[in-house]
Structure 1
Amino acid sequence: MIITIDGPAGAGKSSVSKRLAQWLEYLYLDSGAFYRAIALVAGNQGGNLDDAGWLESFLASFELEVASGPEGLRLWNDGQEITQTIRTPRISQDASRVATLRPVRQWVAAYLRRCAKNGGIVTEGRDMGTVVFPEAEVKIYLDADLGVRAQRRRQELQGRGVDQPAEQVQADLADRDHRDRARQEGPLLIPPGAQVIDNTNLSLEQVVHACQELIRPKLEQSTCQAGPDCDKLFTPEKHPLG
């Protein structure tokens, strides 16, 4: 089964997706990490991050190694781990720039689809349920007020030792929202058939629980395709609420 979690920056996609992947024992994929990795490595090579032609040539030989663990997605390039290096405000803005370009979006989409060829994934991003996995069994769209999202993002940055003024964090998010929604390639949209969860006033646990309730019927249906003993294969004890 493929589960997509879409929404704007700061809506809690990563936190929720990680918890769901742990609960289901699925592979967790953070599409934003791939855009960040491209922005980091291409930028370090002195490339023009607004030049689609240059980036297409760069991506022809670009390689990433990934692993999904309890703390989320880990990435390596050329033998060097870049999991934390890509989590800076500058790389966030650069990632938003490269994400507007067709060659980059096509590369990331193809990479994600290869990872998901056997199913069993929870993937989060901006166009997971619209472009990359339109056939996903469960589509969820998370949203929250801009001010709340900015507060969450600032706390996240502070946890990594980056202290930005609240006004700057909110302005950066507003700018990214505009670019994500206005771009021609894979714009941020509510996927057809997606369940929308506004978590402005919800805790992480409440959001995870709401998502689990959306997933359970699909999970039971998927398991029951195994045959008449399907009731023995899926129990609340096997997939406890976390």
Structure 2
Amino acid sequence: MKQALIIAIDGPSGVGKSTLSRRLAKKLNYVNIDTGAMYRSVALAAHRAGIAPDDEASLSALCLRIEIRFVRQDEMERVLLNGEDVSEAIRTPEISLLSSRVSAHPVVRRALVELQRELGRNGGVVLEGRDIGTVVFPGADVKFFLAASAAERGRRRWLELRDKGLDVDLERTIEEVEARDAADTQRTHAPLRQAQDAVCIDTTHLDIDQVLERMLEVVAQSRLQDVNLKETPAS
């Protein structure tokens, strides 16, 4: 039976990709590859090296000499940059802003796509992003595309910001989600789209546990199909 699957999770912002990727990986005892954390790690390395976020040549060279790995320690997933645990260092507001600028460069995206493929090629991984099932691993064993209405995703974001004590407007937040959707789907390089063979799950009226249960069912079914194919004699 095939054990080490490559699982791709794609979808727009606000559908719960990060949370579900972590929880699914934990359930399966897989490694969760947070592609966003990879771009943040490049931004942190660039910041430490004094590389400007618009210096494409230096960023390209940087991507070739750094090492990014993901490990699980004490039930927590950690991000290692050149062997250093940078899980907290990459989450600062400064690095978040730098990450957005750094990730805009095609050379950086190409380098990290290759690294993502290297990290996941042996299976036993869950990767989440916007182009995992279409660009990074078009041959992934299981593909999910998570969806939800813009209104619901905006509401979730609004609640998240409000819980942090920020004074935010619901309608404005929904508009920002819609603008992000337009940018993601219309960009030239690796636009957001659902792979033809992806299982689409609309999370609008589902909680995290319900979505996770559905994902685990799909993974189990994929494994069963693999067993049946192996046991079916050739004609």
Letter in 2 for 1:104: V
Letter in 1 for 2:226: S
Q: 1:53 to 1:136 in 2, by over 3 A?
A: same
Q: 1:181 to 1:91 in 2, by over 3 A?
A: farther
Q: Which residue of 2 aligns with 1:104?
A: 108
Q: 1:180 aligns with which of 164, 181, 184?
A: 184
Equivalent-residue separation in structure 2 for 1:15 and 1:56 (angstroms): 30
* Residues 1:200 and 2:191 aligned together: no
Equivalent-residue separation in structure 1 for 2:175 and 2:75 (angstroms): 28
* Residues 1:127 and 2:131 aligned together: yes
* Residues 1:47 and 2:46 aligned together: no
Alignment of 1:111-190 (within 5 A): 111-153=115-157, 163-167=165-169, 173-190=177-194
1:86 partner SS: helix
Q: 1:70 to 1:221 in 2, by over 3 A?
A: farther
Give 1 or 2: higher helix fraction. 2
Equivalent-residue separation in structure 1 for 2:230 and 2:216 (angstroms): 21
Q: 1:155 to 1:91 in 2, by over 3 A?
A: farther
1:59 partner SS: helix
Q: What TM-score do the two structures reach when normalised by structure 1?
A: 0.78
Letter in 1 for 2:136: V
Post-superposition shift, 1:203?
0.4
* Residues 1:34 and 2:38 aligned together: yes
Post-superposition shift, 1:95?
2.7
Q: Which residue of 2 aligns with 1:23?
A: 27
1:96 partner SS: helix
1:60 partner SS: helix
Q: Deviations over 1:125-180 (max 9, x none)?
A: 11100001000121111122334334444665688xx5443347656655543443
169-178 or 141-150, larger mean C-alpha shift: 169-178
60-69 or 30-39, larger mean C-alpha shift: 60-69
Q: Which runs of 5+ in 1 are unaligned?
A: 229-242
Question: How many matched pairs?
Answer: 226
Equivalent-residue separation in structure 2 for 1:16 and 1:131 (angstroms): 21
Q: Deviations over 1:170-206 (max 9, x none)?
A: 5665554344333322221112211221212210011
Q: Provide the aligned C-alpha RMSD in A.
A: 2.9
Q: Residue 100 of structure 1 contacts residue 185 of structure 1 at CA under 8 Å; is this kept in 2?
A: no
Q: Residue 150 of structure 1 contacts residue 173 of structure 1 at CA under 8 Å; is this kept in 2?
A: yes
Equivalent-residue separation in structure 2 for 1:68 and 1:154 (angstroms): 31
Identity over aligned residues, as a percent? 37
* Residues 1:14 and 2:18 aligned together: yes
2:90 partner SS: coil
Q: What TM-score do the two structures reach when normalised by structure 2?
A: 0.81
Post-superposition shift, 1:214?
2.0
